C-alpha cells in the first residue's frame, strides 16, 4: 500500500469535484484524515451518509485547522471569501490550492488572505460532468485528465512537486502555465463551448414557448448533446463568465467574426468554403481522439463509463423535460 502524502486534507466544498476527490483520496489512501466543509447542512449530511470524510462541518475555518492540504472547490466567485474565512486556521507549511477555471481572478481574490509560510498554488483539474452535488462524484473523474497549475513567482518547488504527486496519484497529468495564458486557453476550449450551448438551448426554449414547435420532442443528437452542456451548474458558469470576462469576450468576438463568415458562405452558396471549414474542423476532432482526450465510440462512449451518474442514450431524450428544468442547482 502506498504511503499517504498528507496527514490531513481539508475539502472545502463537496460538490462534483470535492466529492470525487474524497472518493479517490480514500481509494488511494492519500491521507490519514479528510475534513469536509460545506456551507449547507443538507449537503453536509449527504456527504456524511456517503462517508466521504472523517469529520464534517459548515465552518470552513474549522475544517482547515491543522490541515496539510486545503482544496477549495467552490464557484470562483466565492474563493476570496473562503480564503478570508480560513486564513486564521492555516498552519505554517500547509499547501492551499483551488480547482477554479479562472485563475487570474482566483489569484487576485485569494492571495491577499494567504499568510506567510503557507504555500498557495492555484490549480485547475480539467475534469467534470454536467452533474453537481456530493452524489455526482466518482473516483475515476480525474483519470488521464490534465491538472494545470499556475504557480506564483517564488513558489516553493518542493511544495509544487508534492501537490503534483497528489494529483498524479489521483490519475491526472500535470502541466503549468501563467494565469493569463490559462484563462485565454480555457476561454476557447471550455468556456466558449458552454456559453454557445447555453445560448442555442435558450433559443430553442424560446422557440418552443412561442411557436409550440416540437424542437424538444424531436431532438436529434446534435441538439441533445448541446443540452448536456447547457445542464451544467448555473452558479459555477455564471461565476466563470464574470471572472474570466476579458478572455471570454475576446473569444466571443473572434467567434462572432467567424460565424459571420460562415453565414456569408451559406448565403452565397460557397460550397468550397463550407467544405474546407468542415474538413478542418473534422481534423481537430480526430486530433482530440488521438491525444486521448476522448474516445471514438457512439455517444462519445458515455454509456461505457463505469459511473452510476452516467445515463443511457435514451435518457438523453428530453421530450418530456422543459429545457429550463434541465439545469442542476449548485451544491457545495
pLDDT digits (tens, 9 = 90+) for 149-182: 999 999 999 999 999 999 999 999 999 999 999 9
The answer to whether 118 and 110 are in contact (CB under 8 A) is no
Please identify which residue in the block is written with the cell numbers 448541446. 226
Class of domain 181-325: mainly alpha
Give the H/E segment covering residue 174.
strand 173-176
Question: Residue 22 — φ and ψ, nearest 5°?
Answer: -55, -45
Q: What is the largest CA-CA distance in the chain?
A: 66
Of residues 216 and 185, the one with the higher pLDDT is 185
Question: How would you classify the pairing of strands 123-125 and 146-149?
Answer: antiparallel
pLDDT digits (tens, 9 = 90+) for 7-40: 999 999 999 999 999 999 999 999 999 999 999 9
Rounded Cα gap, residues 57 and 45, in angstroms: 9
The answer to whether 131 and 105 are in contact (CB under 8 A) is no
Region 247-269 average pLDDT = 93
Third-level CATH fold of 9-177: Rossmann fold (3.40.50)
The answer on pLDDT for 267 being more than 60 is yes
- Place 213 in a pLDDT band, splitting at 50, 70 and 90: low
- Place 226 in a pLDDT band, splitting at 50, 70 and 90: confident
- Place 190 in a pLDDT band, splitting at 50, 70 and 90: confident
Count Cα neighbours of 145 within 13 Å in the Cβ-side half-sphere. Answer: 15
- Place 211 in a pLDDT band, splitting at 50, 70 and 90: low
pLDDT digits (tens, 9 = 90+) for 48-94: 999 999 999 999 999 999 999 999 999 999 999 999 999 999 999 99
Spell out the domain ranges in the chain.
9-177, 181-325
Mean pLDDT of the chain: 85
pLDDT of residue 222: 74
Amino acid at each position: 500500500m502506498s504511503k499517504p502524502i498528507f496527514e490531513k486534507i481539508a475539502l472545502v466544498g463537496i460538490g462534483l469535484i470535492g466529492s470525487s476527490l474524497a472518493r479517490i483520496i480514500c481509494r488511494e489512501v492519500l491521507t490519514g484524515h479528510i475534513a469536509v466543509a460545506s456551507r449547507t447542512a443538507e449537503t453536509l449530511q449527504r456527504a456524511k451518509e456517503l462517508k466521504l470524510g472523517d469529520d464534517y462541518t459548515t465552518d470552513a475555518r474549522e475544517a482547515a485547522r491543522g490541515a496539510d492540504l486545503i482544496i477549495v472547490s467552490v464557484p470562483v466567485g466565492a474563493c476570496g471569501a473562503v480564503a478570508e474565512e480560513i486564513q486564521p486556521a492555516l498552519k505554517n507549511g500547509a499547501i492551499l490550492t483551488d480547482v477554479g477555471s479562472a485563475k487570474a481572478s482566483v489569484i487576485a481574490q485569494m492571495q491577499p488572505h494567504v499568510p506567510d509560510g503557507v504555500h498557495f498554488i492555484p490549480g485547475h483539474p480539467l475534469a467534470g460532468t454536467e452533474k453537481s452535488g456530493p452524489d455526482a462524484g466518482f473516483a475515476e473523474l480525474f483519470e488521464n485528465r490534465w491538472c494545470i497549475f499556475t504557480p506564483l513567482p517564488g513558489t516553493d518547488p518542493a511544495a509544487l512537486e508534492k501537490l503534483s504527486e497528489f494529483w498524479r496519484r489521483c490519475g491526472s497529468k500535470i502541466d503549468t502555465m501563467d494565469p493569463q495564458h490559462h484563462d485565454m486557453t480555457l476561454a476557447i476550449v471550455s468556456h466558449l463551448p458552454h456559453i454557445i450551448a447555453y445560448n442555442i438551448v435558450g433559443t430553442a426554449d424560446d422557440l418552443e414557448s412561442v411557436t409550440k414547435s416540437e424542437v424538444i420532442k424531436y431532438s436529434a443528437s446534435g441538439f441533445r448533446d448541446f443540452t448536456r452542456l447547457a445542464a451544467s451548474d448555473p452558479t459555477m458558469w455564471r461565476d466563470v463568465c464574470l471572472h474570466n470576462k476579458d478572455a471570454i469576450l475576446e473569444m466571443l468576438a473572434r467567434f462572432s467574426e467567424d460565424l459571420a463568415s460562415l453565414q456569408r458562405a451559406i448565403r452565397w452558396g460557397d460550397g468550397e468554403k463550407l467544405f474546407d471549414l468542415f474538413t478542418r474542423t473534422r481534423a481537430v476532432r480526430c486530433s482530440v481522439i488521438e491525444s486521448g482526450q476522448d474516445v471514438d465510440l457512439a455517444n462519445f462512449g458515455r454509456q461505457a463509463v463505469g459511473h452510476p451518474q452516467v445515463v443511457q442514450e435514451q435518457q438523453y431524450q428530453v421530450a418530456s423535460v422543459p429545457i429550463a428544468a434541465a439545469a442542476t442547482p449548485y451544491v457545495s
